[in-house]
Structure 1
């Protein structure tokens, strides 16, 4: 009899545990948790979890705690679709991918098909950092939202800034293979070229994505070209290695980058002595004068020893989701989508932002900052003693471009 009671109690415990698990609002990360890009995913996960912990500590969304699930897509578009199905089977309502636009495209395509076939089991895609304008342009979807400025918006900001840098007349382009790198390259040629027709493109190189281990030959070509500046959309290990090679090669050119706030790049820049030579063209950074940003950074750094401001897509996604759930009074997918369209919130940088209803693209300001040896007590990056010094804030209206989205709504 006692054994029967024990078995019955165990069954009740399992049932209660299952009920508790179902009571959470599941948010799935589908990104490369293995391979060279894993260091980027790790930071994204940490920022996401920190943002979610803040919301959960305040009661969650409509009484539900947000639960983060992780799935390794191994940097593969095909694997992204496989893991998306696993995430949905595990009960995820939001599927987020951040690393590589090709993976984001694959996820959006998969979810569009899934939602058509399963009207009672629909999910939402969050783009945390893919950067490609097509996500909210030709590939836009009613079920997908992007929480970072896209490459065209950032390039518009760069072009605006370079109108004041008439000392730069010779520029070298360096970008990776793949949709994001090549889309950025083209937008730079068009937008910067239009804003600064006097600029001479003295080089234009494309390299394999996340496969080069020594960028010395590329640096030699840039040096020989006489370039005063390099514009690159490289990220992760690629960017860290190319900046390391630039420092070691004694390249004097300035670098205008889209992802130098990410992991590994600050250490490479500091070790190579690239003081004031690397500029970040990004949503923002820890050098922005914002009390709210510094408070968030201080708390995050105390817990993780890392910088959070390099991944604003995570904080913006969770802030927008929290406010949308409150506005809708519901955690159901259809209600959340309706509330997310046009939702207004404040980014981690202390800037007003909203999700444009026409294409689900975040609209907010951007920053231009340079990496320098900072005074003691200033927010630095990766324990280097170096950090970001903001040189320009580009208003949202300067970088807000017309949408090409032709959204199909249910």
Structure 2
């Protein structure tokens, strides 16, 4: 779907009389069925689609987190059909986290033979890299911002640059059950340049009908296209996602690390919100290989002692500050947290695999309020603080908290980090097997 009615610098309109027909190819069953039927069944496409498909552009945006098995199916079954019919395929991705970073054109070809899903190999910016640096996971609340950011925006940017002010048709593969998404998507017209249409919805097909069509054609059951860390996995879709984690644990392991770190900074940050964490589902369903890989990575990666503060202005409205107080291996940072707690004469709290030293816990029954704590976790989050945070935090924090916060910072710098073995380490069982809970904290 388009990201928004964003203003781009547009080139002059094309003088070609053929109206471009752009297929947003998300690699899932619906868009695959739509693209393939457009090429194999005369009359399925719109009247504007030329018989030789010379005005058709099949467009894919890579998030950097798509399962490789999905890309392999596209390379095996779809790309040969595009080649056979000399169809133009464009593959794009974000170049960085900011709009000013622009996009990377991974390919623009009428003879595509492969896809480019690896952000390291192909030099683009993945969605998970952005979330990792911010210490967050994709969020269920509101619109699908992750899809808009990682797919919609780079596709919009390419069309604006390539097509300019030339009007175009835009096919999107929403199925018959996605009328709500169509209502939102169809509102984006980009000043009249974009004319969206929804071929799969128009013929009344469900996702299962698309899968059956592809199975009859290719002999495989087409999977759902989604990121490995997608939070929009329904109960019915979970078995398919679970199977992917079991078959390809090396692909999925870092998303477990990301979730572990995000939950360390925010105990409500599990991938599935109130429905729980990715780790809990994988453990429940015995996905042992990926869990063992995660344990190994947590033991070997660099860790940090984070100082996390929030100022809550209203429910679900918080300003956050994340700072790295110290870096080291896991044992060093966990022991440093324990020593900090002892130095401040405060008891750390262990909950669901994370031990936090609370200087101030949130009071969700009144606003504004603040929270402040230290926690040890993998050192993958970039320090970040919103402009004006210190003034706002100081305005709402009681004097005794400000004094305690200063004392904690001074103590972190004063404590030696060598020869810590005489101090008990925080339990290093990251995914909650047999952890002792010092005090149970209730979530709201």
Q: Structure 2 length normalisation: TM-score?
A: 0.27
Q: Which has the larger radius of gyration?
A: 2
Structure with the bigger percentage of helix? 1
Higher RCO by CA contacts (8 Å cutoff, separation 6 or greater) = 1
Q: Structure 1 length normalisation: TM-score?
A: 0.29
